[in-house]
Amino acid sequence: MPETGPRVLHASLVPRISQGIATQLVLERRAVQALGIPWETALFSPRSSLEPFPEPINMGPPDLRQASGGSMPDRVVTNIRLRRAFYSWLAVRESEFDVILLRYSVHDRAQARFVQRSHAFTGLVHHAFEVDELRGLDGVTGRVRAGLESRIGPSSIGGADLIVGVTDEIAQHEVSRVDGLRTPVLVYPNGGPDAVEPVADERVATPHLLCASSYFSPWQGVDLLLDSLSSCPRDFVLHLAGELSSRDAAAAVGDSRVVVHGSLTQAQMRDLAAVCWAGISSLAIERQGFRTACPLKVREYLSMGLPVVGNHDEVLPVDFPFYVKGGPDIASILDAADRWRSVPRSVVAQASLPLISKKAIVKDFYADLARLVESRP
């Protein structure tokens, strides 16, 4: 496909990178290259243990390391340096593009100034109800940051030419934060690999369940899931892969059926998934204030051939057989896993591919974006 149409920059300022975000950006970069779309994907993030990425997408200062357990002043200095580098880079590059999409940055006055003055068609890409998400953080910091976002956020949203959400619910919510706003919205869901990559099938008689996240935030509902274990007499193994809160970590050690792995590499995650009957998505999405979600982990589970249970509505078709909406109850999750026990990994992955392929998602989104830009007066 020839490189025609609007030139797009999708730039993400991410103070703390996760494997999920990095994977999405890498998949996006591969998709636009395969499609021949004039689109550049760029990340600004401190260097972390996730480096090096398989593609050179991190444009952040090479000497800026991700603060891990450092003091608050150190983290503040790191974030200030990162933001200065990001917006200086944007100022130099913006004239090269017709459309600039920014991953939404909370309570960011520099972002507000950029979208208000930029001559490019600017869009903000939202992945959550930001105020609710910040309120869900522990302690005073979360409440303070939520207050800042409530005051500063509308300046960014009101100055943008386009609001993008990973779900329509999120996009419409963001528009509603500014009274009388008529900004157009588009949906750009998260996606998965563009080829079937099922893991080996090493399932045994005892059900193994996988619950994975970079960090288990409150809306993951791990606390509710762990609370349900005491009422279930069945034999099973629940694998928790990711960083747990101190409360959840303490609860996890109280049941011998729970195995806590900490953070895993992609290769380690695939090895663990091979023994699992099903994957567990977010189980308390209402803590973020919404009903519909498009979690990265669901796409990752499905691409590996694992059916999924979560408590949120999905952007997948309602009759899709390998995602079941359910609550944070281990017994009902095991019931779903039992029903899927005989389904081959390849069947799950193949059925999922047309729905989660990042290449297909990017192609459709770019077509919608091009029509919107061309229709501008």
CB atoms inside a 10 Å sphere around CB 376 = 8
Q: Which of 243, 220, 211 is nearest to 68 (CA)?
A: 243
Fold of 8-190+357-374: Rossmann fold (3.40.50)
What pLDDT does residue 180 have? 93
| C-alpha to C-alpha distance for 214 and 158, rounded to whole angstroms | 32
Residue 297 Cα distances to 101, 214, 216, 241, 308, angstroms: 23, 10, 12, 12, 9
Q: What is the 3-state secondary structure (H, E, C) of the chain?
A: CCCCCCCEEEEEECCCCCHHHHHHHHHHHHHHHHHCCCEEEEEECCECCCCCCCCCCECCCCCCECCCCCCHHHHHHHHHHHHHHHHHHHHHHHHHCCEEEEECCCCCHHHHHHHHHCCCEEEEEECCCHHHHHHCCCHHHHHHHHHHHHHHHHHHHHHCCEEEECCHHHHHHHHHCCCCCCCCEEECCCCECCCCCCCCCCCCCCCEEEEEEEECCHHHCHHHHHHHHHHCCCCCEEEEEEECCHHHHHHHCCCCCEEECCCCCHHHHHHHHCCCCEEECCCCHHHHCCCEECCHHHHHHHHHCCCEEECCEECCCCCCCCEEECCCCHHHHHHHHHHHCCCCHHHHHHHHHHHHEHHHHHHHHHHHHHHHHHCCC
CB contact at 8 A, 6 and 99? yes
CB atoms inside a 10 Å sphere around CB 154 = 16
**Token output for 94:** 């913006």
Q: Where in the chain is the domain with CATH 3.40.50.2000?
A: 8-190+357-374, 208-356
Half-sphere CA count of 261, side-chain side, radius 13 A:
20
What pLDDT does residue 61 have? 75
Plot region of 367 (φ>0 → left; ψ -120 to 50 → alpha; else → beta): alpha
Is CATH 3.30.1360.120 the classification given to domain 208-356? Answer: no
Q: Which residue has the tokens 């078709």?
A: 317
CB contact at 8 A, 295 and 282? yes
| C-alpha to C-alpha distance for 265 and 308, rounded to whole angstroms | 20
| C-alpha to C-alpha distance for 167 and 154, rounded to whole angstroms | 19
First to last CA, the chain: 27
What pLDDT does residue 371 have? 96
Mean pLDDT per 10-residue interval, the chain, length 377 residues: 80 86 91 96 80 67 64 77 92 96 96 95 95 83 92 96 96 96 96 90 98 90 96 97 92 94 91 98 90 92 97 94 96 98 97 95 97 90
Q: Which residue has the tokens 């500063």?
A: 152
Q: Which of 206, 261, 211, 264 is nearest to 237 (CA)?
A: 206
Largest CA distance in the chain: 65
What pLDDT does residue 67 have? 56
What pLDDT does residue 53 have? 63
CB contact at 8 A, 271 and 298? no
What pLDDT does residue 6 have? 96
Residue 147, C-beta contacts closer than 8 angstroms, at least 6 positions apart:
none
CB atoms inside a 10 Å sphere around CB 35 = 15
Q: Which residue has the tokens 């619910």?
A: 169
